[in-house]
Amino acid sequence: MLRRMFIAGAGAALLFAPYAASAQDVRLGALLEITGPIASAVPPIQRAAEFAVQHINE
């Protein structure tokens, strides 16, 4: 399940990369649970978001 979420996040980053290339500043926001039953799923999602930012900024 975590692998699917990471792949989905990376796929979203690649999907929006062409649009981000024309912008000067790209802001990426995410609502992530830090407590509760799905808190263990947050680190892969956060890493996917950070990967997206790095990919877009390259």
Does the pTM surpass 0.85? The reply is no
Q: Say how far apart CA 43 and CA 51 lie, in whole Å.
A: 12
6 pLDDT above the threshold of 70:
no
Place of tokens 């990919």: 55
What is the model's pLDDT at position 23? 56
- The whole-chain average pLDDT of the chain stands at 74
Q: Say how far apart CA 49 and CA 43 lie, in whole Å.
A: 10
What is the model's pLDDT at position 45? 85
Q: What is the pLDDT of residues 35-52, one digit of tens each?
A: 888 888 888 888 888 888
Q: In whole angstroms, how far apart are CA 16 and each of 7, 34, 40, 54, 55?
A: 14, 26, 26, 13, 11
Place of tokens 């996917």: 48
pLDDT (mean) for 25-33? 74
